[in-house]
């Protein structure tokens, strides 16, 4: 992926050089990292389970930088800020087309654990979007995993897809889709609710594809092999693959993100068409047709 030298977003905050306030969640984090480490975006059940409550105040307020960033940290910061800027440019334009104003989210890079508007989260929950403070939280060590799997330069577009998926959750929040599902949560059984979670996740994959569609037209950032690598990572993080790896079998009623095939299908469709009118379809088509 070509990104170096691109414009950087001013909505990114790097907290990795700040001292952690508490390390109490570190142990749990290490334990569950194998199970949820490769989820794109956190599944709501896990979020409730692992995000501690009760620490108020502005997240990150009062923390001071304890050391300068390492060259590697500086590179991931530049990468994340550039991809974030690419998402801002694309979504500003798409929103403008339909007469709306895009309010860009914030993004926080952290290590080990982070205090957010949704509570305190260990990095083991994976990258996630917190609607309460409209912020994407990302521990870039998550990227190392993708790099080990795909090889350095091949991994960058997959990492951008991860960011674009989380920004997709922000776009859903702005468009009201998250609220529709949140309202359903109160009245539906767990199995029924999970189906709505799958729709939201596939929609976020689709939005990541739509972003890449318009981003490529504008910035020409995709290099040969990038799409295949992103498809490979989408394929590795379907619920069926993750469940089989964790437990040896699959239980479709517990799917919250969709199967590997579904994730690849919707990302690819967004990438090919850039057609935002399909968003509604993902919510309206029969579950079995997704």
Q: Is 126 in the site for Zn ion (CB under 5 A)?
A: no
Q: How far is the CB of 201 from Zn ion (least distance, A)?
A: 5
Report the residue closest to Zn ion, judged by CB: 41
Q: How far is the CB of 173 from Zn ion (least distance, A)?
A: 12
Complex with Zn ion: residue 120 or 163, whichever CB lies closer: 163
The Cα–Cα gap between 55 and 65 comes to: 21
Q: How far is the CB of 104 from Zn ion (least distance, A)?
A: 18
Q: How far is the CB of 200 from Zn ion (least distance, A)?
A: 7
Token pair belonging to 232: 């490979």
Sequential DSSP letters for 146-202: HHHHH-HHHHHHHHHHHHHHHHHHHHHHHHTHHHHHHHHHTTS-HHHHHHHHHHHHH
Complex with Zn ion: residue 204 or 231, whichever CB lies closer: 204
Q: How far is the CB of 40 from Zn ion (least distance, A)?
A: 5
The Cα–Cα gap between 123 and 162 comes to: 15
Complex with Zn ion: residue 128 or 157, whichever CB lies closer: 128
Q: How far is the CB of 63 from Zn ion (least distance, A)?
A: 27
Complex with Zn ion: residue 42 or 219, whichever CB lies closer: 42
Q: Is 211 helix (H, G, I), strand (E, B) or coil?
A: helix
φ, ψ (nearest 5 deg) of residue 69: -65, 150
Q: How deeply is 18 buried, as exposed, middle or buried, from its count of CB atoms within 10 A (0-12, 13-18, 19+)?
A: middle
The Cα–Cα gap between 274 and 166 comes to: 17
Q: Is 19 helix (H, G, I), strand (E, B) or coil?
A: coil
**Per-residue contact track with Zn ion, 201 to 220, x per CB under 5 A?**
x--x----------------
**Per-residue contact track with Zn ion, 142 to 181, x per CB under 5 A?**
----------------------------------------
- Count of residues in contact with Zn ion, rule CB under 5 A: 3
- Token look-up 């390492």 returns 70
Complex with Zn ion: residue 146 or 219, whichever CB lies closer: 146
Q: ∠ CA 259-33-177 to the nearest 5 degrees?
A: 45
Complex with Zn ion: residue 36 or 155, whichever CB lies closer: 36
Complex with Zn ion: residue 219 or 270, whichever CB lies closer: 270
- 17-46: which residues touch Zn ion (CB under 5 A)? 41
The Cα–Cα gap between 177 and 183 comes to: 10
Q: How far is the CB of 38 from Zn ion (least distance, A)?
A: 12
Q: Which chain residues interact with Zn ion by CB under 5 A?
A: 41, 201, 204
């Amino acid at each position: 992926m070509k990104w170096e030298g691109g414009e950087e977003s001013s909505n990114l905050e790097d907290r990795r050089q700040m001292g952690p306030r508490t390390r109490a969640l570190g142990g749990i984090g290490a334990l569950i990292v194998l199970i949820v480490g490769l989820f794109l975006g956190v599944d709501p059940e896990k979020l409730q389970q692992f995000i501690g409550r009760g620490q108020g105040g502005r997240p990150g307020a009062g923390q001071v930088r304890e050391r300068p960033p390492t060259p590697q940290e500086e590179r991931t910061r530049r990468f994340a800020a550039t991809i974030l800027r690419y998402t801002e440019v694309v979504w500003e334009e798409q929103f403008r087309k339909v007469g709306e104003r895009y309010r860009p989210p914030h993004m926080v890079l952290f290590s080990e654990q982070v205090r957010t508007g949704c509570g305190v989260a260990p990095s083991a929950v994976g990258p996630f979007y917190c609607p309460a403070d409209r912020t994407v939280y990302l521990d870039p060590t998550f990227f190392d995993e993708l790099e080990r799997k795909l090889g350095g330069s091949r991994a960058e577009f997959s990492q951008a897809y991860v960011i674009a998926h989380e920004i997709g959750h922000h776009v859903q929040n702005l468009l009201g889709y998250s609220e529709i599902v949140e309202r359903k949560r109160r009245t539906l059984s767990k199995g029924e609710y999970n189906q709505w979670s799958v729709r939201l996740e596939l929609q976020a994959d689709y939005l990541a594809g739509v972003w890449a569609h318009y981003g490529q037209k504008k910035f020409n950032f995709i290099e040969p092999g990038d799409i295949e690598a992103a498809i490979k990572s989408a394929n590795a993080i379907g619920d069926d693959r993750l469940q089989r790896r964790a437990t040896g079998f699959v239980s479709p009623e517990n799917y919250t993100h969709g199967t590997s095939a579904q994730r690849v299908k919707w990302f690819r469709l967004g990438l090919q068409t850039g057609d935002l009118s399909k968003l509604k379809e993902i919510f309206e088509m029969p579950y079995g047709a997704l």
